[in-house]
Amino acid sequence: MCKVDFCRRIVAPFLMLIVLSGCGAEKQQITETGMLCTYESGASDTLVIGSTLLLVDGAISDGGLVVLSSGRIGDVGSFDELATAFPEASHLDCRGNTVLSPGWVNIHEHQAYSYAFPDPKLKAVYHHREDWILGRNDMLQLAVPDDQHYNPDVPMTHALLSWVELRHLYAGTTTLGGSGAMRGLARNIGVPRNAEGADAAGYTFAVGTEVFPFTRNATEQFAGVCGVDGVSKLLAINDSNPELAFAPHVGEGRKSDCTASAEIDAYLDYVAEQHTSRRRFAAVHAVATGPEQFARFAELDVTLAWAPRSNLALYGETIALQESQHHGVRLALGTDWSPSGSFNMLEEFSCARAVADKIGVALDDRDLWLMATHNAAYAVGIDEAVGQLKQGYYADIVLLRKQEGKDAYAAAVNASAADVAIVWLDGKPTFLESGMAAQMDLDSDCVSLTAEDKFLCADFETVGITWEDILVMTTDAVPINGDTTGQAPCNVDHLGK
């Protein structure tokens, strides 16, 4: 007879499932209609997942991927072969109606501010970001949320940063680029901000993400270039960690804005000077990039970190997508921040698709998927650790529901938060559907988000704050559950064909 515990792990209690009679026969009897996956608990800590795998070179149907107890990906190949090769492992077979993807690498966030809803005054009237930050050209300034970078003496910072990371994890992001890391949750890209290094434990990858490379007043820096006083005042670019990959904000303004355009030239000149090393370079936003500048992006191997929703919400335009494609510029996607950008990466996919459709650019689903996986990892030099389902990489993975008949990459880039079935971070399930939690016997170890029918399995001891405390302090923040009420619009009406 099989052990009760073993049976319970396979058969979620709420299922109308067959009575099992002996362990030997069970593996043939566990399929259940209406369920996304079947699960067999094994004796080892290894897990074999079966699904359609999204790889850089193409999708593998009936694929299998091994998650090792170290939190890394083991073999990748056929599920049947791997299930046979790892008989002691647990087997989670989700073939047929799911896709398995690397978790999203969101290259551009500002976690310390990204808890806030847009200012009600937000309108797409600005020409350069200094219009709304500084009130340049007598334009209406927008409210910038209070800075919530981690401070161990201020519990609110801890709660809000955790909340923002959980919101991204919920929708499949496993790596976040930008300052404002919180340990124990999403993997972070950036450099510690806190002078005492209190936030250092949050960063897996050191990357320079300078938001103000031309100081906080680029208009003044480029006054000469732009013909205001005839003398260039451009100072050296702020690049305090020249040994690291560099992903600064550059050219965030309309194409017609001289300062925004001059920033791009100055940055590309800087990259050309620096480009003797194997250092990776990206440019965040770069909305103002013109045709010749795109050619230089390609030539200098600079990735453009695209944030279409935030661009459209503030400036009424975004990058010249067709030109960027024409010149073969590598694009990566990022959400920017909740006051003007997408609340999660699935919303950013949706906005990027809307832009492409409106201007008539044929944007392949796989190319869009690459912008949130391998391209983003390449942009900042972490492409040998994340962004692919590949042996030795971090097991940061997302399992998504796939509509029947839909292309595998389309399933990923058209997914809604409700389609995210499981998110693994470091090989551990972080968010998973309630049914899955019951199947995998995780329901007693994890927090139930009842309204969303999901379980959260974060290690709050490592995070250093309880779930209850997080809940109490985040009642006014953008919710984590994929609810996009109040999100800035992705208005493509004014984009021409």
Binding site for Zn ion (CB under 5 A): 336
Question: What three-state secondary structure class fits 407?
Answer: coil
Asked whether 332 and 282 are in contact (CB, 8 A), the reply is yes
**Nearer to Zn ion (CB atom), residue 334 or residue 435:** 334
Q: What are phi and psi of 437, to 5 degrees?
A: -60, -40
| Closest distance of CB 433 from Zn ion, Å | 32
| Closest distance of CB 488 from Zn ion, Å | 13
Asked whether 122 and 316 are in contact (CB, 8 A), the reply is no
**Nearer to Zn ion (CB atom), residue 336 or residue 443:** 336
Q: Which residues pair with 421 in a beta bridge?
A: none
**Nearer to Zn ion (CB atom), residue 336 or residue 419:** 336
**Nearer to Zn ion (CB atom), residue 336 or residue 452:** 336
Distance, in Å, from the CA atom of 143 to the CA atom of 163, rounded to the nearest integer, reads: 21
Residues contacting residue 386 through CB under 8 Å, at least 6 positions apart: 102, 103, 105, 174, 175, 187, 377, 393, 394, 396
Asked whether 349 and 398 are in contact (CB, 8 A), the reply is no
**Nearer to Zn ion (CB atom), residue 94 or residue 331:** 331
Residue nearest to Zn ion (CB): 336
| Closest distance of CB 207 from Zn ion, Å | 14
**Nearer to Zn ion (CB atom), residue 83 or residue 105:** 105
Run of H or E residues at 470: helix 467-473
**Nearer to Zn ion (CB atom), residue 314 or residue 399:** 314
| Closest distance of CB 110 from Zn ion, Å | 6
| Closest distance of CB 483 from Zn ion, Å | 23
**Nearer to Zn ion (CB atom), residue 336 or residue 347:** 336
| Closest distance of CB 334 from Zn ion, Å | 8
Cα 320–Cα 324–Cα 330 angle in degrees, nearest 5: 135
Torsion of CA 318, 322, 325, 327, to 10 degrees: -100
| Closest distance of CB 341 from Zn ion, Å | 8
| Closest distance of CB 259 from Zn ion, Å | 17
Structure tokens at 144: 């910038």
Run of H or E residues at 283: strand 281-285
Helices (H), 141-206: 155-170
| Closest distance of CB 413 from Zn ion, Å | 22
Asked whether 332 and 382 are in contact (CB, 8 A), the reply is no
Residues contacting residue 358 through CB under 8 Å, at least 6 positions apart: 492, 495, 497
**Nearest Cα to 106, choosing from 310, 254, 325?**
310
**What is the sign, positive or negative, of the torsion defined by CA atoms of 413, 417, 420, 424?**
positive
Beta strands in 320-402 (DSSP E): 331-333, 397-401
| Closest distance of CB 106 from Zn ion, Å | 11
Distance, in Å, from the CA atom of 185 to the CA atom of 169, rounded to the nearest integer, reads: 8
**Nearer to Zn ion (CB atom), residue 209 or residue 430:** 209
**Nearer to Zn ion (CB atom), residue 30 or residue 288:** 288
| Closest distance of CB 376 from Zn ion, Å | 14
Residues contacting residue 433 through CB under 8 Å, at least 6 positions apart: 36, 421, 422, 453, 454, 455
**Nearer to Zn ion (CB atom), residue 51 or residue 335:** 335
Distance of CA 287 to the CA centre of its chain: 20
